[in-house]
Amino acid sequence: MTNSVKKALIKQRCLATSRSASTPKRLAWTGVLAAGLIMLPSIFGVTPALAQKAERDSLSYGELIKKAKQGEIKRVELDETEQIAKVYLQDQKPDKPPLQVRLLTQNTELINILKEKNVEFGEVSSANSRAAVSLLINLMWILPLVALMLLFLRRSTNASSQAMNFGKSRARFQMEAKTGVKFEDVAGVEEAKEELQEVVTFLKQPERFTAVGARIPKGVLLIGPPGTGKTLLAKAIAGEAGVPFFSISGSEFVEMFVGVGASRVRDLFKKAKDNAPCLIFIDEIDAVGRQRGAGIGGGNDEREQTLNQLLTEMDGFEGNTGIIIIAATNRPDVLDAALLRPGRFDRQVIVDAPDLKGRLEILQVHARNKKIDPSVSLDAIARRTPGFTGADLANLLNEAAILTARRRKEAITILEIDDAVDRVVAGMEGTALVDSKSKRLIAYHEVGHALVGTLLKDHELVQKVTLIPRGQALGLTWFTPNEEQGLISRSQLKARITATLGGRAAEEIVFGKAEVTTGAGDDLQKVTSMARQMVTRFGMSELGPLSLENQSGEVFLGRDWMTKSEYSEEIAAKIDSQVRDIISHCYRTAKELLQENRIVLERLVDLLSDQETIEGELFRKIVTEHAQVADEKLVVSHSTLTQVNP
């Protein structure tokens, strides 16, 4: 193989390697070839050590002539191809390799001397071995090149097959959905279960409804906050119905190429028609069902075409008999109006956070496969977790089980449950503060919250006060409502504002205005927001029952680019004044309550600094005892005053 051909092959290999460097497989091939190049000199070249050894086992041409004349040579092998003579000496050991001598172009004198001294000599050739080595080197270049060509052909074949399937639906299909979930595994959403059980009955016994002229609903939209069990309900429907089941996410329709999403919608419904009656579940449908024409300069053409195709397939010129679509979203406000009308999504099922009874049922479901101590009351856990969704409760019991295994206990106790609740609500527990002025200040701040909340009759009950950091909070105060509340009164809102300001009020009373800290920054944001909503949205101020502000809309949903003020500057000044008056009044109330109960404040701070955590029951007991002692002192002082001044 000539040098020009070798250079061409090297250039071609380098181009192929650079183009294939974008994938791990091609990188692997490049590494193999590079390793081969590195190893070539070491395999076929002569290393310094071998060169030194060759120098020791060789003779010069003059030394060969001299030894030949002296009769010290036994046999000589002449290699005309390599121009090397292998010399065997008379006293040379049998296992010792021959000496090598570099020959001249004409070696007539050497041959004559060898003939004269009757030295055995002959000609050998290494051309065959050189040809074999050359062929091996060429194969080392050609074989990787062929492998790269095969890799390119394979990738191009895969790419062509993917291009052919680009517009196909990516929905997962199951002839009989084996989700392992039944309606008995879903708890806390009884109303939603009843609505969806009718859908299952439609699929199993349609004649019961068609006999009286009822038609199967075409779509059911599950609406609710994250974690309330929408996807779990869809799995339960699939497990109960026993019909073909398609499941897909809304984001799997939308691609960057225009028309692909619509093609996938057509392919999905075509497969569904071939397997009717069947169910189609679209999770997070807001990814494809957002309002059309929204945003600055129009919406995404690809997404809108996909939505148009979905609308047509659900209720267009051609009907879809026996196909029920179930979709889930936690953003119903962003969905297009045409998608929500009867005939497409006939039913909108609200899957909200569970109430007390629902939380208890959910805990019972998730406690089936966990070892829980008999002393643990699931009802008490349900009462302590208002606002928790089904996912939150499942995570709560799982965290408790992890803590139990970490502590090497055999069953989950109430201690692990309490720690799990704290971790889910506030975050991971941090390192406790050392005794210092900062710890004392945080204790006054947290006790201020809890004490003011306890003294106000319209406030929720205090559950726990702790100085153990969790998340980004250096101290925490938990309040738990004693009953499920859907509506909040004006007095309750003012009580919440007052208790929230109790921390800053305690700092100012004890340390003075000059020593208040930034610890109340988040508290001030909350009370300002609550007071402003009282004035502008709920009509709970002297401005009267007026709704002056709405929840801000998003510009990308077709809302206004600029938030327009719906009132004059005079009204805006009155709003600011009313917000300031509400907060100032609540702050004065918090300071008065703390000053009147300074003794119990100091007692609770000492106890909290020592124990780092005070449970709500003990906290309320101490406050009640102090109030009774104060009332007794007041009665005694009043009777003494009456005796002195009859």
Q: Which helix (H) or strand (E) holds 614?
A: strand 613-615
* Half-sphere exposure at residue 588, Cβ-oriented, CA atoms within 13 angstroms: 5
Question: Measured between alpha carbons, how far is 549 from 576 in angstroms, rounded to an integer?
Answer: 13
Return the structure tokens found at 127: 């051309």
Quick check: 449 and 497 in contact, CB under 8 A? no
Beta-carbon contacts of 125 under 8 Å, excluding residues fewer than 6 positions away, are: 79, 80, 81
The DSSP call for residue 428 is S
Beta-carbon contacts of 589 under 8 Å, excluding residues fewer than 6 positions away, are: 498
Beta-carbon contacts of 365 under 8 Å, excluding residues fewer than 6 positions away, are: 185, 186, 187
Three-state DSSP at 280 gives: strand
Q: What share of the chain is helix, strand, coil (3-state, %, to 5)?
A: 55, 10, 30
* Bridge partner residues of 101 (DSSP): 59, 85
Q: Which position has the token pair 């497969």?
A: 271
Three-state DSSP at 120 gives: strand
Question: Measured between alpha carbons, how far is 433 from 474 in angstroms, rounded to an integer?
Answer: 8
Question: Measured between alpha carbons, how far is 266 from 249 in angstroms, rounded to an integer?
Answer: 15
Quick check: 79 and 37 in contact, CB under 8 A? no
Question: Measured between alpha carbons, how far is 471 from 429 in angstroms, rounded to an integer?
Answer: 7
Catalytic residue among 304, 446, 460, 507: 446
Total Cβ atoms within 10 A of residue 544: 7
Told to judge if 77 belongs to the known catalytic residues of this protein, a careful annotator would answer no
Distance between the two ends of the chain, CA-based, in angstroms? 133
Which is it for strands 461-466 and 613-615: parallel, antiparallel or unpaired? antiparallel
Burial of 79-112, coded b for 16+ CB within 10 Å and e otherwise, reads: beebebbbbbeeebeeeeebbbbebeeebeebee
Amino acid at 91: D
Q: Find, among 111, 45, 44, the residue nearest to 80 by Cα.
A: 111
Q: Would you name the residues annotated as active-site residues?
A: 446
